[in-house]
Structure 1
């Protein structure tokens, strides 16, 4: 079984199609298609569903993908380990971050890493916390910055970047506008503007409401917490956002604290604590942890 077939297969999955995979690997598209067909013949099952627009994993493809990534990671790790012994760090690292990530942390981290290790290819993607953690555990990402309301999944190590209280934001004419602090129950029947399901903030909101015996009445969702706050500022309910954001734009809306500080969440750096890790990823993780 040729390793390059696994590499082509993983590239097609990650890029969402044969054309973009061919561009990434600098290989002719028919060659990639032919090699994946040979891989499917060797395994005795179709790995990709080609019937619709683009390609999708079949059940067999879902089962094979983690092993393909592990095989590639093992070979790349062996190669990089030899290079590391010679005083080099090369290879590829993949980083994921949530949309609400503070703007300075990742660019500063990656700029310093690239300066010291220019031979390492760096890939950065954005997503929600649940999706990024899945990609981390699957081996598609090496480190991620995600929101976390509870404990991390098994096999994931974390370091807290920020532990923050969430607050309510309302418009100037809202009944809560003059309230400095309210109990969570005061929001029980209000239309809420929050981040989507799969984000750390949404997890924290749902956990806090459940602990109080309430069900959040979510009316508006947006991936950007600033947009969420702007909806509330214009009279469309109550937004629940990190306190740092509310304080930074206090001239645009009214901030209301939640009694007892029951609504909190963490922004964390996360990495795989089990399984093989390439030298390039290990150096990035060590550097990130030291910086944070």
Structure 2
């Protein structure tokens, strides 16, 4: 029996699916199935009921699971103790970021952490902010850079990077450029081009509209700010983006929204209990974002 057998066993037990577990431990589905069968052969008992699509623990599997977890934790403790003596940090981190949102300081932090600790491997995942937050809560992501409305989730540890207002964005010859500022009620009579539901900026827009008791006319939505800006250039509507996003498109005219008081927040979020690898990455992230 090897530690990897126990790792695969725990992964299948927690994912209740051989394919998801294989993806989690970075081997093929036939490979993890073969390793589990080898473990079962050594133990002389089936650990999973394979009669349905869900991998369900047998009585033997349920009895073995806490001991497998304890063994893996003890092995990790041995490695951590030795690494502490040698001042090494190892581990694998899953880091999430908003789809199509290139944030240079995050990449700087990942690069600096890798140079300082080559034993830390990182998987980068893109998704919308709502799903990233859910994955941090579920423990399938260690850290995520997300956009949220007003403040980061209270149940997660966080580092706020920026908090800023929403602005509208139009082509230079659009009739709205005659206004120095706009109210949400004025904007909501226009066809709006927004980021997708589940993104931080869209959540801020929806909450601001609800606070002013107005309904936005969303003509089109896209998952990336570049796509939103390109649609506006084609005269298809008025964009709603955050101030920093809008600054990336100098050919378009930003117009402040006077009564959109709830701000868009960009923040790093993670669960309060951290591994040594995550603590190192967070140290580099703080230096990168707040030099």
TM interval, short-chain normalised: 0.7 to 0.9
In structure 2, relative to structure 1, the CA distance for the partners of 1:155 and 1:75 (3 Å cut) is: farther
**CA–CA distance in structure 1, aligned partners of residues 120 and 35 of structure 2:** 24
Determine the structure 1 residue equivalent to 2:279. 282
Map of 1:255 onto structure 2 = 254
Deviations 1:114-150 (A, max 9, x none): 1010011111111111111111111111111000113
Residues 163, 151 of structure 1: CA spacing in aligned structure 2 closer, same or farther, 3 A cutoff?
A: closer
Which protein shows a greater Rg? Answer: 2
Moved more, 79-88 or 159-168: 79-88
Uncovered stretches (5+) of structure 2, i.e. residues with no partner: 57-61
CA distance in 2 between partners of 1:227 and 1:198 (Å): 16
Q: Identify the residue that residue 8 of structure 2 maps to in structure 1.
A: 4
Distance 2:16 2:122 in 1: 19
Cα offset for 1:174? 3.0
- Aligned mates of 2:93, 2:193 — CA distance in 1: 35
Pick closer, same or farther for the CA change 1:207–1:21 going to 2, 3 Å. Answer: closer
What TM-score, normalized by structure 1, do the two folds share? Answer: 0.78
SS of the equivalent of 2:176 reads coil
Q: Distance in 1 between matches of 2:282 and 2:17?
A: 25
Partner of residue 184, structure 2: 184
For residues 194 and 17 of structure 2, the distance between their equivalents in structure 1, rounded to whole angstroms, comes to 31
Out of 82-91 and 124-133, give the one that drifted further: 82-91
The answer (yes or no) to whether the contact 2:8–2:36 under 8 Å persists in 1 is: no
Instruction: Give the Cα–Cα distance (whole angstroms) in 1 for the partners of residues 162 and 53 of structure 2.
Output: 42
- Deviation (angstroms), 1:2: 4.1
1:49 to 31, 44, 53: 53
Q: Go from structure 1 to structure 2 and tell me whether the alpha carbon gap of 1:142 and 1:15 turns closer, same or farther (over 3 Å shift).
A: farther
Shift of 1:271: 1.2
Query: Aligned to 2:177, what secondary structure does the other structure show?
Result: coil
- 1:167–1:263 CA contact under 8 A, matched in 2: no
Unaligned runs of 5+ in 1: 51-56, 59-63
| 1:167 paired residue number | 167
SS for the counterpart of 1:153 is coil
Residue 191 of structure 1: how far off its partner (Å): 1.5
- 3-state DSSP class of the match of 2:178? coil
Whole-Å Cα distance in 2 between the matches of residues 291 and 206 of structure 1? 31
Aligned residues: 273
Asked whether the 8 Å contact 1:157–1:270 carries over to 2, the reply is yes
Q: What is the alpha-carbon root mean square deviation over aligned residues? A: 3.6
Mapped contact 1:89–1:119 kept (Cα < 8 A): yes
Distance 1:187 1:45 in 2: 56
With normalisation by structure 2, the TM-score equals 0.79
* Mean Cα deviation higher: 205-214 or 184-193: 184-193
What is the deviation of 1:16?
A: 4.6
Residue aligning to 2:59: none
Give the deviation of 1:153 after TM superposition: 3.1
Match of 1:24 in 2: 27
Describe the superposition over 1:228-277 as per-residue Cα deviations: whole angstroms up to 9, x where unpaired: 122122111111012223233222x222111145252010011111x4x3
